[in-house]
Amino acid sequence: MRAGGGSPNRPPRRGPRGRPVRWGTVSSLRESFERASLPALTRISALPRVVPFLVVLGFVVAGILVPGWGWVLIALVALLLLWILALAWPRLTVAERLMRAAVVLMLGAVALTQAVPR
């Protein structure tokens, strides 16, 4: 472990005055967000791994195939992935953050183009 916390592969985060910030430092808003998410995450993690994947895949496919209100299903998937991204944000590298944010933005764009067709 380094002086600022974290793994040896990751440089220590720097605070506003250049001092290392511990990786375990969490704001009270973040703590309350994680605490509120805990019951849902517990239920989801109790399911077999393939079930959440198939549910998300089913919602996206149904959202693409259903005319009219199918965009709502895609928007729900985008919100779900945004929630998971927000929970995982502090533990992700910059590349992982960008990739996951790109997926959420693409789903949002698909939902928007289906909700407001030309």
Q: Which tens digits make up the pLDDT trace of 17-32?
A: 665 555 566 678 889 9
Q: Which residue positions in the chain have pLDDT lower than 50?
A: 1-2, 4
pTM: 0.73
Task: List, as own/partner pairs, every contact residues 20-27 make where C-beta atoms lie below 8 angstroms and the sequence separation is at least 24, other chains included.
Answer: 23/90, 26/90
Tell me how crowded residue 68 is: count the other CB atoms within 10 A of its CB.
9
- CA-nearest of 63, 78, 77 to 114 is 63
100, two tokens: 């996951």
H or E segment to which residue 85 belongs? helix 70-88
**For residues 74 and 82, is the Cβ–Cβ distance under 8 A?**
no
Tell me how crowded residue 56 is: count the other CB atoms within 10 A of its CB.
15
Output the CA–CA distances (angstroms, integers) from residue 81 to 29, 41, 67, 74, 93, in the order listed: 20, 13, 23, 11, 17
The amino acid present at 101, given as its one-letter code, is: A
Residue-level pLDDT at 1: 45
Residue-level pLDDT at 27: 78
